[in-house]
Amino acid sequence: MAFEPPPRLVRALGETPRDAATDDWLHRLPELAQEAVARWELTVERVQVPGGRSSLVVLVRTREGTPAVLKLVPPRSRPDSERAALAHWGGLGAARLLDDVAEAAGDGALLVERLQRDVSVRSLPEAKSMLEAAGTLRRLWVPPPASHRFETVAERTGRQAEAMRSCADPDVAPLVAAALAAREELLASVPEGAEALLHGTFRQSKVLAAERVPWLAVGPDPVVGECAFDLARLVRDRVEDLIASPSGAAVARRRVKRLAEALEVDQERLRGWTLFRAVESGVRAQRVGRPQDAELLLEFAGWL
């Protein structure tokens, strides 16, 4: 079976400056997929299309006939970090890692529990979807393993802040300044004992229906830090609906309050991280040529 990279993946990888490792991985992707299938003695059913923006997803069955997902992740998306997080969670709140090797083989391949990829909590009414997503997120917030090598919130947002400072749009400059100031204040006042292993890119579409429990998370880009950082991405879920609503600004502010109360995080810290993450995503969308996404995100950020 041919394992050609889905167009969505190719487009997403092309939105940011390509490095030699990514180019090599993309060129070798069909070969890497074949090698992973042979290594785990998998039976291929089909490639998931349109698939994700950061990996090739193949629906497979293990040698025992168990439905599974083979993911091939480019080096810049930190597959070893995803593997380590899934192993640490051990199936609690997230899809279970099925491969039996301690380290990746260098090809970015992961074998994980198959969930119902076409059924996410976004299929539920908004209030119910937020409740289920928040409950899933709470289960993921566990202490990181000793001597972990995960990126920290300070490190990740430091890289993002550098990119934000290069934004030359004068209309966006006040929001960028506010977001950067919020980050500095938040990092200078992290509550004692607040460090947890976070999903890193959590949103409703990352929570899929499962067999052994109703909902499980997929696709982490794990990071270690305070929980408010993780929750901040969920605040802006369905941002297009919020922007289209005449009461969108009020709804967004109420969402910050309700999620902070439901997951017992400080409301102002959640608001600050929500502002930073929305502005960062908006500036990045603007930079890679997605003006509509940028407009939505930056308008949302302005409400905070």
Residue 215 sits at the vertex; the CA angle it makes with 130 and 230, to the nearest 5 degrees, is 50
For residue 228, the model assigns a pLDDT of: 97
Report the share of the chain in percent with pLDDT over 90.
73
Region class of 41: left (phi > 0), else alpha (psi between -120 and 50), else beta: left
What is the reported pTM? Answer: 0.92
Give CA torsion, residues 119, 153, 141, 12, to 10 deg.
10
Both tokens of residue 256? 């910050």
**Going by C-beta distance under 8 Å and a sequence separation of 6 or more, which residues neighbour residue 212?**
91
177 and 104, same structural domain?
no
User: Which residues constitute the domain of residue 288?
Assistant: 119-303
Q: What's the pLDDT tens digit per position in 140-188? A: 999 999 888 999 999 999 999 999 999 889 999 999 999 999 999 999 9
Is a pLDDT exceeding 80 seen at residue 101? no
What's the average model confidence in pLDDT over 96-114? 78
For residue 2, the model assigns a pLDDT of: 63
161 and 199, same structural domain?
yes
Q: What's the pLDDT tens digit per position in 238-260? A: 999 999 999 999 999 999 999 99
Of 94, 114, 134, the one marking the end of a domain is: 114
Is a pLDDT exceeding 70 seen at residue 15? no
The answer to whether residue 2 is domain-embedded is no
The answer to whether residue 1 is domain-embedded is no
For residue 23, the model assigns a pLDDT of: 81
Task: Give CA–CA dist 262/252, Å, rounded.
Answer: 15
Of 114, 145, 176, the one marking the end of a domain is: 114
Mean pLDDT of the chain, nearest integer: 90
**Number of structural domains found in the chain:** 2
Q: What is the CATH number of the domain that holds 265?
A: 3.90.1200.10
Cβ neighbours around 113 below 10 Å, total? 20
Cα-flanking dihedrals φ and ψ of residue 119, to 5°?
-125, 100
